[in-house]
Structure formats: C-alpha cells, structure tokens
Structure 1
Amino acid sequence: MTRIAIVTGASSGLGKEFVKHIDAGASGQIDEIWVVARRLERLEALQRTCGTPVRPFCLDLTDPASFEVIEGALGQTPGAEVALLVNNAGFGVFGNVAMQDKRDGGAMVRLLMQAPVELIYRALPYLRRGSRIINIASVAAFLPQPNLAVYSAAKRFILDLSRSLDAELGGSDIHVTAVCPKFMQTEFLDTPGDATAARAMTAIGFERADRVAARALRASRRGQSLYIPSLDMKAYYVASRVLPYKTALAAERALGII
C-alpha cells in the first residue's frame, strides 16, 4: 500500500505550509506527497526540503487535462491509497464584477469549484477508512460579498459541498473538512484587482498560514466537517446564520468592509 497525500496550490503560501506539516508527520504515515502547482521550479525546491518522497506535478488546474494526469498517475501507482487530499489552489479578484476582466470570473469558477470536484471524483476510488479531504473555503463563504462576488459564491459552494460529502462518507470513517480562514499574507493578494476593495475587506485582519495549516490538519484528523480558525470569525459565522442578509450587509457597510 502506498499512502499518498495530494496538495494543490503547493508552491507557496498555505499549500506550502500544508506540505511542511505533512512531511513532519501531521497526517500520520505518508509514503509520498504529491504536490500540484504551475511553477515547476518551486515544486522542485520544495521537494528538496522534504524528508518524505515528493512527486511534483506542474499543472494548471483550470485545464481539464490536468485531472486526467492525476488520475493516470494514481492508476499507475501500485497499491495507491489517497490518505489525504488538500484542495487548496485558488485565486480571487476583488472589485465590482462589471469592472473585472471576463476571463477572471471563468478562471475562478474553474479553479475554485470545478477543480476540487474533479479531484475528489478522481480520488474517491483510492480513499480508504481513515482517509481525509480538506477543502479550503473562506470566511467569505458565510455571506454573499459585494466586491468579491464570484470568489465568495465559489467558496460557499465549497463549504456546502464539503459538509454534504462529509455526511455521505462519514459512516466509512472518511471525513471532509471545510476550512474557513481569514485572508493570509500570501501571494493571493499580490494581484487583487481592485486594491481599494482588497484593503477594505482585509481590514478584518490576517491569519498565519503555518498556524492555519497545522490546525486544519488537526481538525481533519478529528473528523470535523467545518473548521474556522479564528474566534472572531466563529462569532461572525454564528451571526451570519441568524441575521437577515440585508441586516448583515448593512453592518458590513457601516464597518467599511464593503
């Protein structure tokens, strides 16, 4: 049996932190870590820092052919078992939809929604009792967010998908965890689109990527379907469940977040 951890968006930021923690044993015995991103040189650099064998996949997950590559590799690996799948790859564009490049919306839909679904389908035949899936959602998933409309809608999709899948698979001790962090100081914010909107929305504060990765892996081991790292965002989540949307939206406007 070859126990595999697959991490997308692994070349930097949160994905890279997941790889470090998995390599250090945070997910138990892992025989290979498969790292997926577009920048091969960064994946190879990451490979050199790990004690666990790392297999780099230089792929663009907005390209449907990339999923066939992963599926083919799993099929060619003797005794392949996907012990952990981390759907982390993503990007977001801030600002009014009408002002955005039309290509950005489609790319977000493909990367944030289609890619996790496709990879989950590819991994399903290789999941075993104790396997885990971590899907990176966001606090933006809690309410529809003007100036982050496509991104927040996509993350809501991931949140709902994760909780439904966890209910379906949990009886087999296969659990799916949606992780909803705040923004982090990563390359995600290097090209935000509308910088003014990005500054307003990140006024809620940032989280440390290393801490989010470590705690998300712990929540996954425990079989939690939802993990919100910060206390203030846990309170925000509760409020989002009870307040009418217009009331919550008015509160965000009053705080200058949108």
Structure 2
Amino acid sequence: MPTIAIVTGASSGLGAAFTHQLDKGAFGRLDEIWAVARHADKLEALAQSLSTPLRPFALDLTQEDACEQIAHALAQETNLTVALLINNAGFGAFGRFSSVPLEHNAAMVRLLALAPVELSYHVLPYMLAGSRILNVSSAAAFMPQPRLSVYSAAKRFILDFSRALDAELGGVGIHVTAVCPRFMQTAFLDHTLDSAEAMRMARLTGFEKPERVAAKALRAARLGRALCIPSPYMRTLYAATKILPYPIALSLEQAVMGRSNS
C-alpha cells in the first residue's frame, strides 16, 4: 500500500523545509511526496534534491479547479494512504484594507482559508489512524491585526478550523495540528503587495528559521498536538490574548515585538 505526504507551497521557504525533512524521514517512511506549487521549474529542481520520489503538481491554488485536480489524481490511485497533508501555501497583502485591491484580498482568502478546507475534504478518505493534517496558520491569528486585517482573519479561520477538525477526528486516530510561526525570512515577503510594509512588520516581530519551524511542527503533528507555537515570545502573546481585553493585548503585542527584535 503506497504511503504519501502532500505538501502545498512546497518549492521554497517553509514548504521546502517541510519537504526536505520529510525526505529525511521526519514523518517515517514515505513512498512518494506530492509537491504542489505554482512553478514547474522549481518543483523539478526540488525533485532533483530529494531521495524520495516526488510527484509535482504545478498548480495555483487560488484557481477554482486546482484542488479538484489533486482530488482526481488521488482517485486514480489504488490502495493509497495519505500519511500527512501539509497545507502551507500562502501569500500576504499588507497595508490598510482600503488600499489593497479586492482581487488580492479575495485570492488571499481562497488560498489561506478555502484551499485547506477543500484539500482536507478531498484527502480525508485516503487517511487512516495515525495520519495527520498540518495547517500553517500564523501568530497573526491570535487577535485582529490592523494593516493585516484579511491575512490575520484568514489565519484565525484556519486556526479555529484546525482545532475543531482535530476534535472531530481524534476519535478515529487522525489529528490536525495548526502551527503558528512568526515571520520567516523566505520568498513570502518578496511576494506581498507591499513588500516594504511587510518587511517593516516582520522586523518588528523578528524572524524564525523555516527549518526550525518545520521541525517543531512535524514533531507536534507526530505527537497529535492541536497547536504548535514555535516562538516563546509568541506563546507569551497567545497566553495574554486569552485573558486580556483586545486593546491591552494589542499594546502587549507591540512590546513583545520590540523585545523579539532586540
């Protein structure tokens, strides 16, 4: 029975870090890794760097039929098991809501919220007890974020969706983990609508290393944990948002950001 992992946004940044760690056995033996990203050439380069066979899917998950293509590919297989689905693909549009074109905000919601829902739905029939879903949320999900309104709301959606789905599926031995990192020094920041604004906000929060985030997230998934917050500073912020009113928590966030960057 072939066993696979599926990784979206796999060709660079955190997605590439996940893929390389899976190739090294971080989630047990895999017969194949299905890697989803927009650029076929980057997927080909990724495949050449791995020892595990890689099946490339050059897809833009903001397009309506992209997830259906993955569902169709799964349906063509016989006795296939999906051990792990990593919903990682993402981009951000930073700045005041009124200054961000509607098409960017709509695409962001489709990629960050709708695509993980669709892929989880399509993949679940191929999962067994011990299989996992790993959804990349963000520390921005902990509370509403001015100048990051749609991104933080979409990441909050995926955080809540992950935790609810984990509760639903835990009884059959399938767990869902939401990982909430800070910004990472990846191509994500280069592809924002306002890269200067994105970099300013990222410098405030400080950066995490994709390899470290991937390792912690995979460990949390293996253990069946519903939530993984790799940064100690962000764990402090998360705890504060559970007990403090929003204006006070927002002020604390700014203080934590300043400390993270020191």
TM category, shorter: over 0.9
Decide whether the 8 Å contact of 2:206 with 2:257 is kept in 1.
Answer: no
TM-score (norm 2): 0.94
1:101–1:217 Cα change, 3 Å: same
Amino acid at match of 1:223: G
- Residue in structure 1 matched with residue 114 of structure 2 by the alignment: 114
- Residue in structure 2 matched with residue 3 of structure 1 by the alignment: 3
Shift, 1:156, TM fit:
0.2
Shift, 1:194, TM fit:
3.5
- Residue in structure 2 matched with residue 160 of structure 1 by the alignment: 160
2:212 is equivalent to residue 246 of structure 1 = no
* SS of equivalent residue, structure 1 residue 193: coil
Q: Kindly report which structure 2 residues correspond to 1:130-141, keeping only aligned pairs within 5 A, or say none.
A: 130-141=130-141
Shift, 1:172, TM fit:
1.2
Q: Kindly report which structure 2 residues correspond to 1:66-145, keeping only aligned pairs within 5 A, or say none.
A: 66-145=66-145
Decide whether the 8 Å contact of 1:11 with 1:37 is kept in 2.
Answer: yes
* SS of equivalent residue, structure 1 residue 135: strand
Distance 1:181 1:32 in 2: 27
Shift, 1:196, TM fit:
5.0
Decide whether the 8 Å contact of 2:237 with 2:253 is kept in 1.
Answer: no
* 1:166-205: CA deviation from partner (whole Å, max 9, x where unpaired): 1110111101000000000001111333445424422121
Shift, 1:161, TM fit:
0.4
Distance 2:222 2:174 in 1: 10
2:183 is equivalent to residue 178 of structure 1 = no
TM-score (norm 1): 0.96
Q: Where in structure 2 are there 5+ consecutive unaligned residues?
A: none
Decide whether the 8 Å contact of 1:147 with 1:197 is kept in 2.
Answer: no
Amino acid at match of 2:28: G
Distance 2:58 2:182 in 1: 27
Decide whether the 8 Å contact of 1:7 with 1:19 is kept in 2.
Answer: yes
* SS of equivalent residue, structure 1 residue 6: strand
Distance 2:125 2:255 in 1: 49
Distance 1:76 1:229 in 2: 37
Decide whether the 8 Å contact of 2:91 with 2:191 is kept in 1.
Answer: no
Q: Where in structure 1 are there 5+ consecutive unaligned residues?
A: none
* SS of equivalent residue, structure 1 residue 63: coil
- Residue in structure 2 matched with residue 42 of structure 1 by the alignment: 42
Distance 2:257 2:52 in 1: 46
Distance 1:195 1:72 in 2: 36
Percent identity of equivalent pairs: 58
- Residue in structure 2 matched with residue 150 of structure 1 by the alignment: 150
- Residue in structure 2 matched with residue 27 of structure 1 by the alignment: 27
Shift, 1:251, TM fit:
4.0
* SS of equivalent residue, structure 1 residue 33: strand
Shift, 1:247, TM fit:
1.7
- Residue in structure 2 matched with residue 187 of structure 1 by the alignment: 187
What is the CA RMSD across the aligned residues, in angstroms? Answer: 1.5
1:255–1:47 Cα change, 3 Å: closer
Shift, 1:250, TM fit:
3.8
- Residue in structure 1 matched with residue 225 of structure 2 by the alignment: 224
Decide whether the 8 Å contact of 1:200 with 1:256 is kept in 2.
Answer: no
1:56–1:84 Cα change, 3 Å: same
* SS of equivalent residue, structure 2 residue 123: helix
- Residue in structure 2 matched with residue 169 of structure 1 by the alignment: 169
Decide whether the 8 Å contact of 1:138 with 1:182 is kept in 2.
Answer: yes
Residue-pair matches, total? 257
Distance 1:84 1:97 in 2: 35
Distance 2:190 2:51 in 1: 30
Distance 1:114 1:193 in 2: 20
